[in-house]
Chain A
Amino acid sequence: MVAENDPLVRFIDVQKSYDGEILVVKKLNLDIARGEFLTMLGPSGSGKTTCLMMLAGFEPATHGEITLAGKPINNVAPHKRGIGMVFQNYALFPHMTVAENLAFPLQVRGMSKADTEAKVKKALDMVQLGDFGHRRPGQLSGGQQQRVAVARALVFDPDLVLMDEPLGALDKQLREQMQYEIKHIHQSLGVTVVYVTHDQSEALTMSNRIAVFNDGIIQQLASPDNLYERPENAFVAQFIGENNKLLGNVKSVNGQSCEIEVDGGGVVTALSVNVAGPGERASLSLRPERVIINPEIGSCPNVFDGRVEELIYLGDHIRTRVNVCGHDDFVVKVPNASGHAQLQEGNTVKVGWTMEDCRALDIYE
């Protein structure tokens, strides 16, 4: 008996090696809840697609166990797992019409003709392609083909749908539109989705939780806001969103906060998240939008003089590159609000930030 709130998918100590020497996935433990939208995010070669392929059954796990709804599936053939899948290149059958593509998973399950037709129609309506049933995939645009692929993966009511970079081949505008569509389909059907992407904004937009992969390990598993605002190591801080990195040595650790002596000079008070201890190297992570230009005196513990090196006008904000503490790649986003600071290249300004916004992390090269 499987309880309702048990995880739908569990990876238990899963390892994968293609050549018997290098581990592509190292000791993966991951629980995916029923109805969740979980994104595996990471650079190419980080092991995220391999994990998806193991779950789909196209790659065997070298070690460990994968369970689906409480049952181990290591020895279950892909076509018996009942998992829907959307591929990066759509993988629609070119010799079948759109309707035949959608009917395929129903026919192999022996569904009656009338039921099949009704389900196909419903699925096509869901992706707003109701009139396209008689077209062939080659006659559709990329976005339409992707919609058909999504509908085909959902038409047989699977509990779990896997998506392998499904929007990678679309242009930016269409990609964003499809992100919302997939998100809405997920919300209205309550299906569990495991989504693989290397695009962090896609992951932030769509997911309930994001697993950030690097080097075959989940670096952090958290909700989008936690991931962005509270990265736990230097890799995640750099990979998700824009990030100012200041390197230095730990001077002292006092409970939650610590003092870091930055390489270019100056001592920063930061939140101690992931530092080895006094005397060790550390990197500071600070989001560009959390830096304050000309802060009120006494409002933040970290105030430094900075020389404005470059101003880039981006409409909603002005991207300002400042030389702070010997780091000349320090970026500040100055919002283009009424009464914002008027800066000129070459000016010297005060920049400041709070202790909570500056996270002291490990070193990632």
Chain B
Amino acid sequence: MALPPYVGPFDRTWHYVYLVICASVFTFLIAPILVIVPLSFNAEPYFTFTQKMMSLDPDAFSTRWYEDIVNNRQWLHSAKNSIIVAVFATLIATTLGTLAALGLSKPVMPYRSLIMGVLISPMIVPLIISAAGMFFFYSKIGLAQTYVGLILAHAALGTPFVVITVTATLIGFDQSLTRASAGLGASPTTTFFKVIMPLVTPGMISGALFAFITSFDEVVVVFFLAGFEQRTIPRQMWAGIREQISPTILAVATLMVIMTICLMTVVELLRRRNERLRGIRQT
């Protein structure tokens, strides 16, 4: 970024200071995440860089902690739990959130802001309060320490994301498309699947990914509602740090970072595809 020629020495200095500040903030945010990646390849069972690692000795690196994940039944079990819970919670959250957003976007909807507020409250209320409430309620009806209970709880946490992203997609939605579809002879069901769904799919998928990630790294509700049998990856990591300080959790963390990056890439690609479909040209 070249500076215009009329810039004085003070502005010039400030420009470089500004760049340094930006870089520092960026480093502050990203360094703790990046540092675990090389550490997860540590050949020694430590959480620090060894002398040999610093001198880039190939012997100091190994994939033993990754092998440990695969060979450890507890890790595999919690990975399976995480995936099952996240997938079902996401399906429920996406379905309910999309339908809620469609309803809330109708011009005739009464008490719109009130209902919207209630629906997104799980995002605003401190998690510990939701979790405690769910614990007492689910215990009463026998859902505590079950998969169903955990899935429902995570679905409630994920729904606000879907409601928000789908509502945002619907802001640009032309309601006369629904009328046009009916005018052309399509039943309301056909209209939903052929016209409305394709146009809100990007919003649904972004919301679904947020819901999935929320469930995948959620630990507070899991503490309250999950028994040993329903232990998820974050819960297992927490236990791993408390009980057996092993770099395996660094390997797990690295895998989770990679997974998150992949999911976010999907979101971005979908957003671009959506813009292209709507004929919005990239500027």
Which residue numbers of A lie inside 8 Å of B, CB to CB?
A: 56-58, 77-80, 82-85, 87, 89, 91-95, 104-105, 108-109, 136-139, 152-153, 156, 162
Contact = CB atoms under 8 A, between A and B. Distances in A.
Given A79-B187, A93-B195, A87 B279 contact: no
Which 4 A/B pairs are nearest by Cβ-Cβ distance? A138-B279, A105-B184, A91-B180, A85-B183
A79 B277 contact: no
A108 B185 contact: yes
Given A79-B183, A138-B279, A91 B177 contact: yes
Contacts of A77: 182
A83 B183 CA distance: 6
B280 A84 contact: no
Contacts of A83: 183
16 contacts: A56-B179, A58-B179, A58-B182, A79-B185, A79-B191, A85-B180, A91-B179, A94-B199, A94-B278, A104-B184, A104-B194, A105-B185, A137-B279, A139-B279, A152-B184, A156-B184
Contact of A108 (B180, B184, B277): B184
A259 to B, nearest CB: 53
Given A84-B183, A104-B186, A108-B190, A94 B176 contact: no
A94 B177 CA distance: 9
A153 B191 CA distance: 16
B57 interface: no
Contacts of B183: 56, 78-79, 83-85, 153, 162
Contacts of A139: 279
Nearest to B194: A104
A109 B279 contact: no
B279 A136 contact: yes
A136 B273 CA distance: 13
B3 to A, nearest CB: 38
Nearest to B281: A138
Given A85-B180, A89-B176, A108-B190, A94 B185 contact: no
Given A104-B194, A156-B185, A93 B279 contact: no
Nearest to B191: A79
B64 to A, nearest CB: 49
Contacts of B188: 79
A87 B176 contact: yes
A18 B185 CA distance: 26
A152 B194 CA distance: 16
B186 A108 contact: yes
Max count, chain A CB within 10 A of own CB: residue among B174, B181, B184, B187? B184
B183 to A, nearest CB: 4
Interface of B (DSSP majority class): helix
B185 A136 contact: no
A322 to B, nearest CB: 48
B133 interface: no
Contacts of A84: 183-184
A136 B191 CA distance: 19
Contacts of B198: 95
Contact of A138 (B177, B194, B195, B278): B278
A191 to B, nearest CB: 15
Nearest to A102: B184
Interface in B175-215: 176-177, 179-188, 190-191, 194-195, 198-199
Given A80-B185, A84-B183, 17 more contacts: A77-B182, A79-B181, A79-B184, A79-B185, A84-B184, A85-B179, A85-B184, A91-B177, A91-B180, A93-B177, A94-B278, A104-B184, A104-B186, A105-B186, A108-B184, A109-B185, A152-B184
A97 to B, nearest CB: 10
A95 B193 CA distance: 13
A56 B278 CA distance: 27
Interface in B143-201: 174, 176-177, 179-188, 190-191, 194-195, 198-199
B176 A91 contact: yes
A72 B198 CA distance: 35
Contacts of B278: 94-95, 138
Contacts of A95: 198-199, 277-278
B184 A94 contact: no
A84 to B, nearest CB: 7
Contacts of B195: 93
Max count, chain A CB within 10 A of own CB: residue among B177, B195, B280? B177
A56 B179 CA distance: 9
Contacts of B199: 94-95
A79 B174 contact: no
Contacts of B179: 56, 58, 78, 85, 87, 91
A344 B195 CA distance: 64
B194 A94 contact: no
A136 B195 CA distance: 15
A187 to B, nearest CB: 23
Contacts of B177: 91, 93
Contacts of B181: 79, 93, 104
B174 A91 contact: yes
